[in-house]
């Protein structure tokens, strides 16, 4: 069983829960983007300036 085979009800519940925690998915994607860019810049700094 992979995570993708998980039951749909559980998936639906998780998505609903995520929407409750982050009312707008747009905000959430913006947040993940900014987090990713922060991580990327930290890695770049680490490798470039080390």
Ranges of each domain in the chain: 8-49
Check residue 2 and give its pLDDT: 47
User: Quick check: 39 and 31 in contact, CB under 8 A?
Assistant: no
- Rounded CA Rg of the chain: 16
pLDDT at residue 20 greater than cutoff 50: yes
Q: Which two tokens stand for residue 13?
A: 């519940």
State the Cα–Cα distance between residues 34 and 40, nearest whole angstrom: 10
pTM of the complete model beyond 0.75: no
State the Cα–Cα distance between residues 17 and 10, nearest whole angstrom: 10
Mean pLDDT (the chain) is 74
Q: Name which of 16, 18, 12 is nearest 31 in CA terms.
A: 18
pLDDT at residue 37 greater than cutoff 60: yes
């Amino acid at each position: 069983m992979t995570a993708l085979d998980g039951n749909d009800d559980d998936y639906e519940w998780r998505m609903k829960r995520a929407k409750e925690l982050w009312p707008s998915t747009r905000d959430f994607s913006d947040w993940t983007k900014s987090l990713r860019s922060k991580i990327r810049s930290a890695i770049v700094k680490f490798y470039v300036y080390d």
